[in-house]
Structure 1
Amino acid sequence: MAVQETGVVKAQVEKNEKEKIPGTDSPRGVLEIPVTGTDSDSSSSSCGSSSSPEKSTPQRAVNRESGGWKSMIDSIKKKSVVRRFSVIPLLTNYELTKKNLWKKLGRLQIPEDDDADDGGSVPIVRHSWKNFDFAELAAATDNFNSENLIGKGGHAEVYKGCLPDGEVVAVKKIIKNAKEDEERISDFLSELGIVAHINHPNAAKLIGFSTENGFHLVLQFLPHGSLSSLLFGSTECLEWTIRYKIALGIAEGLQYLHHDCHRRIIHRDIKASNILLSEDYEAQISDFGLAKWLPDNWSHHIVFPIEGTFGYLSPEYFMHGIVDEKTDVFAFGVLLLELITGRRAVDSRRQSLVIWAKPLLQTSNFKELVDPRLADAYDLAEMKRAMLTASVCIHHLSTMRPQMTRVLQLLRGEGGQTDLKPKPSARRTVILDGSDEEYSSTCYLKDLNRHMQLALE
Structure 2
Amino acid sequence: MGSSRSMLFFINLAIIILNLVAPSISQDDGICTLTADYCWKCSDTGTYTAGDKYEENLNSLLSSFSSNTQNNSGFYNSSRGQDSNKINAIALCRGDLSQDSCQACLNISTEILLQNCSTQKEAIIWAERCMVRYSYNLIFGIEQTDPLKHLPSPNSAKNPQQFELVLTPLLGILSDRAASGNSLKKFAAGHATVPGGETIYALAQCTPDMDKQNCSRCLNKSVTEIPTCCGGMNGGRVLKPSCNLRYENNSFFVSTADSLVDIPTPVPPAPAPEEAKKKSNTKQTVIIIVVVLVVSVTIFSSICFFFRARKRRVKLEQDENSEDVSLMESLQYDFETIRSATDDFSDANKLGQGGFGAVYKGTLLNGQPIAVKRLSKNSEQGDREFKNEVMLLAQLQHRNLVRLLGFCLKTDERLLIYEYVPNKSLDHFIFDPNNHEHLDWETRYKIIGGIARGILYLHEDSRVRIIHRDLKASNILLDEDMNPKIADFGLAKLFVIDQTQGDTKTVRGTYGYMAPEYVIHGRFSVKTDVFSFGVLVLEIVSGKKIGSFQYGENEENLLTYAWRNWREDTIQNIIDPVLTTSSQIETMRCIHIGLLCVQENVVDRPTVASVVSMLNSQSVVLPVPSQPAFYMHHNTGSDIFALAESDQSKSLSVHVTENEPSNITEPYPR
Range moving further from structure 2, 377-386 or 396-405: 377-386
Structure 1 138/443 Cα, relative in aligned 2: closer, same or farther at 3 Å? closer
Deviation readout 1:229-277 (Å, 9 max, x if unpaired): 2222461222221111110000011111112222222111111111111
Aligned CA distance change for structure 1 residues 364 and 299 (closer, same or farther; 3 Å):
farther
| Pairing of 1:316-327 with structure 2 (within 5 A) | 316-327=517-528
State the superposition RMSD in angstroms. Answer: 3.8
2:425 matched to 1:226?
Answer: yes
- Does the CA-based 8 Å contact 1:275-1:286 persist in structure 2? yes
CA contact (8 A) 1:268 1:290 kept: no
The range that moved more, 200-209 or 329-338, is 200-209
CA distance in 2, matches of 1:168, 1:54: 38
Q: 2:422 touches 2:480 (CA, 8 Å); kept in 1? A: yes
Alpha carbons 1:190, 1:289 under 8 Å: kept: no
1:354 corresponds to 2:555: no
Q: How does 1:278-317 map to 2 (within 5 A)?
A: 278-291=479-492, 300-317=501-518
1:368 pairs with 2:573: yes
Matches within 5 A, 1:45-84: none
The Cα shift of 1:136 comes to 1.2
Give the structure 2 partner of residue 71 of structure 1.
none
Match of 1:210 in 2: 408
The answer to whether the 8 Å contact 1:333/1:394 transfers is: yes
Distance 1:363 1:186 in 2: 56
Give the distance between the partners of 2:483 and 2:563, measured in 1 at CA: 29
- SS of alignment partner, residue 631 of structure 2: helix
**1:412-441 CA deviation, whole Å, 9 max, x = no partner?**
2344215578xxxxxxxxxxxxxxxxxx94
- Does the C-alpha gap of structure 1 residues 329 and 383 become closer, same or farther in structure 2, counting only changes over 3 Å? same
Query: What displacement does 1:154 show?
Result: 1.3
Q: 1:305 to 1:338 in 2, by over 3 A?
A: same
Q: Distance in 1 between matches of 2:618 and 2:151?
A: 33
TM-score, length-scaled by structure 2 = 0.44
Instruction: Write the distance in 2 (CA, Å) between the matches of 1:233 and 1:278.
Output: 18
Partners of 1:309 and 1:390 lie apart in 2 by 18
Matches within 5 A, 1:48-127: 118-120=237-239
Structure 1: runs of 5 or more not aligned: 1-28, 30-51, 68-116, 422-439
Contact 1:54 1:403 in 2 (8 A): no
Question: How far apart in 2 are the matches of 1:358 and 1:186?
Answer: 48
CA contact (8 A) 2:408 2:416 kept: yes
Instruction: Give distance in 1, aligned partners of 2:372 and 2:620.
Output: 43
**Pick from 141, 145, 162: which aligns with 2:342?**
141
Residue 582 (structure 2) aligns with: 378
Instruction: Name the aligned partner's letter for residue 631 of structure 2.
Output: L
1:154 has 2:352 as partner:
no
**1:307 and 1:443, CA in 2 relative to 1: closer, same or farther beyond 3 A?**
closer
Structure 2 CA distance, aligned partners of 1:278 and 1:363? 38
Shift of 1:189: 5.2
Please give the secondary structure, in 1, of the residue aligned with 2:615: helix
Distance 1:410 1:379, change over 3 A: same
Determine the structure 2 residue equivalent to 1:171. 372
CA distance 1:406–1:382, change in 2 (3 Å):
same
- The offset of 1:150, in angstroms, is 1.6
Q: CA deviation at 1:227?
A: 0.8
- Give TM-score scaled by structure 1 length: 0.63
Change (3 A) 1:392 1:365: same
Contact preservation (8 Å) 1:130, 1:208: yes
In structure 1, how many angstroms separate the alpha carbons of the residues matched to 2:339 and 2:507?
34
Compared with structure 1, are the counterparts of its residues 324 and 118 closer, same or farther at alpha carbon in structure 2 (3 Å cutoff)? same
Tell me the equivalent position of 2:398: 200
Cross-structure match for 2:475: 274
Task: In structure 1, give the amino acid aligned to 2:431.
Answer: F
Deviations along 1:109-149, whole A, 9 cap, x unmatched? xxxxxxxx743469x99857432222211211112122222
Q: Secondary structure at the match of 1:235?
A: coil
Q: Does 1:245 align with 2:364?
A: no
| Separation (CA, whole Å) in 1 of partners of 2:491 and 2:152 | 21
Separation of aligned partners in 1, 2:531 and 2:151: 30
- Structure holding more helix per residue: 2
1:405 positional shift: 1.1
Structure 2: which amino acid aligns with 1:214? Answer: E
Q: Residue 413 of structure 1 corresponds to which residue in structure 2?
A: 617
- Kept in 2, the 8 Å contact 1:313–1:327? The answer is yes
> For the pair shown, which has the larger CA radius of gyration, 1 or 2?
2
Count of aligned pairs between the two proteins: 332
Equivalent AA in structure 2 for residue 345 of structure 1: I
Classify the secondary structure of the residue corresponding to 2:238: coil
CA contact (8 A) 1:140 1:161 kept: yes
Q: 1:420 to 1:443 in 2, by over 3 A?
A: closer
Change (3 A) 1:304 1:229: same
- Deviation string for 1:276-314 (max 9, x for gaps)? 111111111110244569xxxx99411112111111011
Question: Is this contact kept in 1: 2:151–2:237, CA < 8 A?
Answer: no
CA deviations on 1:183-207 (whole Å, 9 max, x unpaired) are 5869955852551441211111111
1:50-81 alpha-carbon deviations (Å, 9 max, x no partner) = xx9975887589997899xxxxxxxxxxxxxx
Q: Are 2:594 and 1:390 aligned? A: yes
Q: Is residue 446 of structure 1 aligned with residue 618 of structure 2?
A: no
What is the CA distance between 1:171 and its match in structure 2?
Answer: 0.6
Q: Secondary structure at the match of 1:308?
A: strand
Query: What amino acid does structure 1 have at the position aligned with 2:406?
Result: G
Deviations 1:145-166 (A, max 9, x none): 2222222211211111111100
> Structure 1 CA distance, aligned partners of 2:472 and 2:609?
19
Letter in 1 for 2:639: Q
Query: Who is 1:5 aligned against?
Result: none
CA contact (8 A) 2:407 2:415 kept: yes
Alignment partner of 1:401 out of 601, 605, 609: 605
Q: Which has the higher relative contact order, 1 or 2, with Cα contacts under 8 A spaced 6 or more apart?
A: 1
SS of aligned partner of 1:416: coil
